[in-house]
């Protein structure tokens, strides 16, 4: 039975370890479009053409136009109170907070979060399309024509350091470890449409003997709503600043 929160607070005691998963919804109040909302990112660009290896092989210019536009939008945006609330939580409970984001923008970092992972990659990094072993490149440039696409020293093209559909998300071993040891799992602003991220709440709940307490924060129920102990309906920027009660 999923209860809708009467009280919008999550108690964190000195022994609690907190796993937070964020999605596009946490950056919505910073002005960044989500994927599946009405005027979302996929509206202009079918996902197959810009967020799959096949789309990259077929039209790398279109893929770079898509991510270049998102680089420009992310550079023009600012962290919102939800990002700042999670940076504050890290200050309060330190390494007992593990922040995993599906987002590729850098708003968590710009709000002050330090201990986080980007399981779907990072907008402001590029990498060799051939995985030749060259290091990731910090890259905030826009590339709008095939002729502008930078080359790796090995002769291959540079691609966005993004996990596309059909590719393996980053740091899954670390994520599994942190889910296995968290006592509280909080999911913020994600539709629950994409796996394996949408399964994290099931993993945390299914743990033998000591299931985690699981919470969702967002303006509408996610697809995996039934897996949550509590659904806290509302926008992340409104709910997160006063959400955590730390004892």
- Residue 44's Cβ-side half-sphere holds a number of Cα atoms within 13 Å equal to 12
Is 240 among the residues that bind ligand BV8 (CB under 6 A)?
no
On whether the CB atoms of residues 97 and 18 are closer than 8 A, the answer is yes
Is 60 among the residues that bind ligand BV8 (CB under 6 A)?
no
Grouping H, G, I as helix, E, B as strand and the rest as coil, residue 224 is: coil
- Residue count (the chain): 247
Residue 9, φ and ψ in degrees, nearest 5: -140, 150
Question: What is the nearest approach in angstroms of ligand BV8 to the Cβ of residue 174?
Answer: 12
Distance separating alpha carbons of residues 71 and 172, to the nearest angstrom: 25
- Binder among 24, 89, 152, 231 for ligand BV8 (CB under 6 A): 24
Question: What is the nearest approach in angstroms of ligand BV8 to the Cβ of residue 37?
Answer: 6
Grouping H, G, I as helix, E, B as strand and the rest as coil, residue 112 is: coil
**Which structure tokens are listed for 172?**
């899954």
Residue 96 is given by DSSP the state G
- Binder among 166, 173, 208, 210 for ligand BV8 (CB under 6 A): 166
On whether the CB atoms of residues 188 and 218 are closer than 8 A, the answer is yes
Question: What is the nearest approach in angstroms of ligand BV8 to the Cβ of residue 52?
Answer: 8
Is 54 among the residues that bind ligand BV8 (CB under 6 A)?
no
Question: What is the nearest approach in angstroms of ligand BV8 to the Cβ of residue 70?
Answer: 7
- Binder among 4, 72, 141, 195 for ligand BV8 (CB under 6 A): 195
Binding positions for ligand BV8, rule: CB under 6 A: 23-26, 28-29, 34-37, 40, 51, 102-104, 120, 162-169, 172, 189-191, 193-196, 218-220, 222, 235-236
């Amino acid at each position: 039975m999923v209860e809708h929160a009467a009280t919008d607070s999550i108690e964190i005691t000195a022994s609690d370890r907190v796993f937070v998963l964020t999605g596009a919804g946490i950056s919505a109040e910073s002005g960044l479009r989500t994927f599946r909302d009405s005027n979302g990112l996929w509206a202009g660009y079918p996902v197959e053409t810009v967020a799959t290896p096949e789309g990259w092989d077929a039209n790398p210019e279109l893929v770079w136009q898509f991510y270049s536009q998102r680089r420009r939008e992310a550079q023009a945006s600012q962290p919102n109170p939800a990002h700042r609330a999670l940076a504050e939580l890290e200050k309060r409970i330190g390494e007992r907070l593990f922040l995993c984001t599906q987002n590729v923008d850098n708003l968590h970092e710009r709000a002050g979060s330090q201990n986080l992972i980007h399981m779907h990659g990072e907008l402001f990094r590029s990498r060799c399309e051939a995985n030749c072993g060259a290091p990731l490149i910090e890259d905030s440039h826009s590339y709008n024509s095939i002729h502008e696409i930078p080359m790796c020293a090995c002769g291959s093209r540079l691609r966005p350091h993004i996990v596309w559909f059909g590719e393996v998300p980053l740091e899954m071993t670390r994520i599994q470890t942190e889910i296995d040891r968290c006592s509280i799992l909080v999911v913020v602003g994600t539709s629950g449409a994409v796996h394996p991220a949408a399964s994290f709440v099931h993993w945390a709940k299914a743990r033998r003997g000591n299931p985690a307490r699981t919470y969702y924060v967002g303006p509408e129920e996610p697809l995996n709503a039934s897996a949550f102990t509590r659904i806290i309906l509302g926008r992340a920027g409104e709910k997160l600043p006063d959400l955590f009660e730390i004892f």
